[in-house]
Each structure stands twice: as C-alpha cells, then as structure tokens.
A and B are shown apart, each in its own frame.
Chain A
C-alpha cells in the first residue's frame, strides 16, 4: 500500500507550481503597467530571464 501511495505521489511532488503576478515596469513594453506573467501571459510559454545586476 505504501509503495502504491509513493508511486501516485511521486509525480505530484515532481511537478512544480510556478506562478506570479507582478506589474510590468518596462515603459517600452506593450504590457507596461499591466500584471504579468499572470494573467496577461497565461496561454504562453514563458521564459523568465533573471538578472541580479542593473
């Protein structure tokens, strides 16, 4: 029974639940001032480009 439970739970644990809603600050972006990534780009493949330098 435990093994069965593990088999069912393992894929759930692996799937990540990424989600955020933040205002677009780029004044030259078409979505400036709008909340992205949700809901504006819900039906998109999203590439999140991180930087820690200005």
Chain B
C-alpha cells in the first residue's frame, strides 16, 4: 500500500492524497505488520468501542479502504482481495481519486482555484492568529509569515 501511495504522488502527481492505516488498539503488531517498512500514517481505533469503525459503519471492515473527499464526504470504497493491489483494484482506486481530485494552485488559500485579494486576507488572518496552516506556507520554509504574503502578491501581480 505504501508503494501505491508513492505511485500516486510520483507517477500521477496526486500530492494531496494520503492513505491512513487504521488499526485497533487491542491488537499489537500493526506497526511491524500492517504498516511494515512503510511511511503510511497509522492510527489506532480504541478498543472496545472502536469509535472510528463506529463512525464509518457500515464501512471499516477488514482490508476495506474508504475514500473521503476534502470535506470528509464519502466518495468510494473498495475491499481488497489480498494485501497486494491487483491492476483492476488499482485502476478502480485511481478512477475515484481522478474524479474528485482538485489540482492545487500555488497561493490559492481558500481553494477557489483563483489567486486574488481574498487569499491575501486569509493568509494575513492565518499569521495574525498564529496558525500554522501548511496551505499558507507558499515558500515552503515551514513558517507562515510576511514572506508568504509577499509571494502571493507577486503571484497576483504576475
């Protein structure tokens, strides 16, 4: 699955897609087996209530992948036959992502695919509120500050 994550980013250019492994707190070994040698984020559903599975019901079965869009809305699911993805499973998953993926525009803070004065207002608010929203980090220096505002202004002017 980690390979598929890499493939999505490197071969298809889907930067803003992440696979999160959802284990169970009562079963040890997820780190070494489920996400073995991978960089997939792993969260533990707390036993015995299993709130994540409860929230995702009727989804969240073993080997099931649930796809959610940017707003957390359900956009698809697939239950894998084996741990390794088949070509048809992979194509099915890419189709779901392709249908729902929005290319990000540099400097587009509010996600309307246009860079304008509204984005400047938003990024200034992010700075004033001391937030660390990665969307606002235009120059990718790990900090949202006046340099990012300047960069957005430059994008608008150019």
Q: Are A23 and B20 in contact, CB atoms less than 8 angstroms apart?
A: no
Q: Binding site of A, secondary structure by majority: helix, strand, loop or mixed? A: loop
Residues in chain A near residue B33, CB distance under 8 A: 53-54
CA of A29 to CA of B91 in the docked complex: distance in angstroms?
A: 25
Q: Are B39 and A28 in contact, CB atoms less than 8 angstroms apart?
A: yes
Say yes or no for B41: interface residue by CB 8 A criterion. yes
Q: Are B20 and A54 in contact, CB atoms less than 8 angstroms apart?
A: no
Q: Are A46 and B62 in contact, CB atoms less than 8 angstroms apart?
A: no
Bin the interface of chain B by size.
35 or more
Residues in chain B near residue A16, CB distance under 8 A: 72-74
Residues in chain B near residue A49, CB distance under 8 A: 1, 19-22, 40, 64-65
The one of B16, B42, B43, B52 that contacts A44, using a Cβ cutoff of 8 Å? B16
Q: Are B30 and A50 in contact, CB atoms less than 8 angstroms apart?
A: no
Max chain A C-beta neighbours (<10 A), residue from B21, B28, B39: B21
The one of A37, A41, A54 that contacts B28, using a Cβ cutoff of 8 Å? A54
Minimal Cβ-Cβ distance residue in B for A48: B66
Q: Are B61 and A26 in contact, CB atoms less than 8 angstroms apart?
A: no
Bin the interface of chain A by size.
20 to 34
Residues in chain B near residue A29, CB distance under 8 A: 35, 38-42
Say yes or no for B13: interface residue by CB 8 A criterion. no
- Name the distance in Å between B131's Cβ and chain A's nearest Cβ: 10
Max chain B C-beta neighbours (<10 A), residue from A15, A22, A47: A47
Say yes or no for B3: interface residue by CB 8 A criterion. no
Residues of A within 8 A of B (CB): 15-20, 22-31, 36-37, 40-54
List 20 A-B pairs, Cβ < 8 Å: A16-B74, A18-B68, A18-B72, A24-B41, A26-B31, A26-B38, A26-B39, A28-B38, A28-B39, A31-B41, A36-B20, A44-B16, A45-B68, A47-B19, A48-B20, A48-B22, A49-B1, A49-B20, A50-B22, A51-B30
